[in-house]
Amino acid sequence: MAKRITVDPVTRIEGHLRIDCEVENGKVSKAWSSGQMWRGIEQILQGRDPRDAWIFTQRICGVCTTVHAIASVRAVENALDLEIPLNAQYIRNLIVAAHGIHDHIVHFYQLSALDWVDITSALKADPKKAASLAQSLSDWPLNSHQIMKSTQEKLKTFVDSGQLGIFANGYWGHPAMKLSPEVNLLAAVHYLQALEVQRTANKIVSVLGSKTPHIQNLAVGGVANPINFDSQATLTLERLMLIKEAIDELGSFIYNGLLVDVAAVGSFYADWTQHGAGITDYLSVPDLPLDTAGTAFGMPGGFIKGGDLSTFQPITRFGDPCLLDGVAESNKHAWYEGSDPLHPFDGRTDPEYTDFQDDGKYSWIKAPTFHGQPAQVGPLAQVLCGLASGDHRTQAATDYFQDKVKAVLGETLPLSAFHSTIGRHGARAIRCAVLYENLKEQWQLLMDNIATGDHETFNAPSFPKGEIRGMGFHEAPRGMLSHWVVIEDGKIRNYQCVVPSTWNAAPRNAEDAPGPYEKSLLDTPVADPELPLEILRTVHSFDPCISCAIHLHDTEEQSVVSVKAV
């Protein structure tokens, strides 16, 4: 008989996600993904000045803090057909790339590693062995015996005092945990070091954006960063050199820490390349525009059907008609009025709460589709599109990752292995390296452009009478983000955000087809329904963000097992 598991809330994510599964014969046979909060930011924007929208939308999320600001100004600029100065593109790109690096590092170490790494087992490790294993895999200078030993002692102090602090409440000792004590110690050491590295990435965002989270330097038409090397109040050479120093520091950790750790964890858990594929129609958008109109990009995007790279269709510019016409959202299984899919320009977000109905409405998340079908978005989608398009940076980072896999596993992973729970982690680490290579390039492009004497950062917008429409897209850390705005007489009439976690955490759509989380969970083995670590592994591999996806609580207890997961 099927046993029902409710994981509510799923934690180590942003926002409030509930996952329900039916488990039969030790495997998931049905799954439901449910967003459990509603915020209504799209409604708040109606009637407002489109130049202010980015300030509001950015508050959708405190994790991907910059992305809704970027997508918003791009949507309004697209409606106005307004190009922005080159310096403004480069400054935005530096922020976007540094933010993405920050986000990917946080996700692997702080938000998901503890699904694979048993911190308590690290106490049993031989620090010398841990150091020599680490040194055999990378040149990271902070892998010494001394560091392994002192970190282990720090962990012991936590445990002896009965307070695991940030490591409390893990599934320690779970039978699905398979790493040796030495690998667990190594991962624990890098977990703590990653906290420092994140700060370096955020330094870049805050120097250019005035603060983080939630940058302050955007404007419809460009950025509010005056460039003047003679004034300390503006973007000076000194600040640009500070940014360069931070960029260099990031590169060292990404190549010697993140890529190596993900390759090692992925190799030790290579069986997880057999689970979690779910929906293999992949959608991504290009990003890091290289010209004033957004017709050339540093990172490619597009659509891949059924996991087959030969089907790749590129998306090549802001306003690409394939994307413009292809997106719709259905509320058939979401707690909003209506059911038939609507294009975002006509989209509605009018709440209509029922209780959790397995075959009816059961989530605050809408179900987006691309030309009628659900799609998986995220780093895996972008990396596969990068490989399919022949992007040399994506290929180089993938090759580097595969070399590290080979060092641990003895062989590389076939591309088909990437359609999986582990594949999403691998792709995110690869994308982080691609972002880093682009970050370096964007810094140089900005320096070179300023050196030509161009100091422009802003083109003033002007709003016509009558109706205009625009779509802004951005490849956010969790995947393709799009904002859609309808402006009438200079005021917002409709505003819809179709967000990465909305795509991936979607409930069933108008045709009752499951969303990506739901489909990826089918057939996942669950050793112990009371401790559903395997469900968390696959859900966390998408890097869920429910604040983004929805932009109350079920009081009806229908479950056999209800778990507060960590």
Instruction: Answer yes or no: are the C-beta atoms of 438 and 393 closer than 8 Å.
Output: yes
* SS3 state at 468: strand
- 122 sits in the region (left: phi over 0; alpha: psi -120 to 50; else beta) called alpha
By the rule CB under 6 A, 215 interacts with ligand NFE: no
Closer by beta carbon to ligand NFE, 463 or else 473: 473
Closer by beta carbon to ligand NFE, 391 or else 543: 543
The span from the CA of 57 to the CA of 393, in Å, is 31
Q: Which does 481 bind (CB under 5 to 8 A by kind): Mg ion, ligand NFE, none?
A: ligand NFE
By the rule CB under 6 A, 61 interacts with ligand NFE: yes
Closer by beta carbon to ligand NFE, 64 or else 262: 64
By the rule CB under 5 A, 485 interacts with Mg ion: no
The span from the CA of 234 to the CA of 216, in Å, is 14
By the rule CB under 6 A, 64 interacts with ligand NFE: yes
Residues 87-146 binding ligand NFE (CB under 6 A) are: none
Neighbours of 16 (CB within 10 A): 19
CA distances from 90 to 220, 286, 427, 451 (A): 15, 15, 25, 14
Provide, rounded to whole angstroms, the least separation between the CB of residue 462 and ligand NFE: 29
The span from the CA of 90 to the CA of 92, in Å, is 5
Instruction: Answer yes or no: are the C-beta atoms of 516 and 419 closer than 8 Å.
Output: no
- For residue 9, whether the previous peptide bond is cis, meaning omega lies within 30 degrees of 0, is yes
Choosing from 12, 74, 474, 478, the catalytic residue is 478
DSSP state of 414: P
Provide, rounded to whole angstroms, the least separation between the CB of residue 183 and ligand NFE: 29
By the rule CB under 6 A, 500 interacts with ligand NFE: yes
Which window, 85-93, 213-221, 463-471, 473-481, contacts ligand NFE (CB under 6 A)?
473-481
Provide, rounded to whole angstroms, the least separation between the CB of residue 377 and ligand NFE: 9
* SS3 state at 186: helix
Closer by beta carbon to ligand NFE, 185 or else 549: 549
Which window, 115-123, 149-157, 302-310, 493-501, contacts ligand NFE (CB under 6 A)?
493-501
The span from the CA of 131 to the CA of 530, in Å, is 36
Residue 501 annotated to the active site: yes
The mark string for 140-179 relative to ligand NFE (x by CB under 6 A, - otherwise) is: ----------------------------------------
Residues 530-549 binding ligand NFE (CB under 6 A) are: 545, 547-549
Choosing from 112, 389, 501, 541, the catalytic residue is 501
- For residue 514, whether the previous peptide bond is cis, meaning omega lies within 30 degrees of 0, is no
CA nearest to 472, candidates 497, 439, 490: 497
Residue 68 annotated to the active site: yes
Residue 14 annotated to the active site: yes
CA nearest to 503, candidates 33, 188, 36: 33
Q: How would you classify the pairing of strands 561-563 and 3-10? A: parallel
By the rule CB under 6 A, 14 interacts with ligand NFE: yes
Provide, rounded to whole angstroms, the least separation between the CB of residue 481 and ligand NFE: 4
Residue from 478, 483, 537, 540 touching ligand NFE (CB under 6 A): that is 478
Provide, rounded to whole angstroms, the least separation between the CB of residue 53 and Mg ion: 13
Give the DSSP per-residue string, 142-157.
T--HHHHHHHHHHHHH
Choosing from 12, 68, 425, 474, the catalytic residue is 68
Choosing from 385, 432, 497, 548, the catalytic residue is 548
CA nearest to 383, candidates 410, 369, 402, 359: 402
CA nearest to 545, candidates 43, 53, 65, 25: 65
Closer by beta carbon to ligand NFE, 64 or else 471: 64
Question: What is the helix (H) or strand (E) element at residue 21, kind and residue range?
Answer: strand 17-24
Provide, rounded to whole angstroms, the least separation between the CB of residue 39 and ligand NFE: 11
Residue 385 annotated to the active site: no
By the rule CB under 5 A, 327 interacts with Mg ion: no
Residue 61 annotated to the active site: yes
Sign of CA dihedral 347, 350, 352, 356: positive
Residue from 45, 328, 417, 497 touching Mg ion (CB under 5 A): that is 497
The span from the CA of 40 to the CA of 367, in Å, is 16
Q: Which residues are catalytic?
A: 14, 61, 64, 68, 478, 501, 545, 548
Name the site residues for Mg ion (rule: CB under 5 A). 497
Name the site residues for ligand NFE (rule: CB under 6 A). 14, 61, 63-64, 67, 476-478, 481, 499-501, 545, 547-549
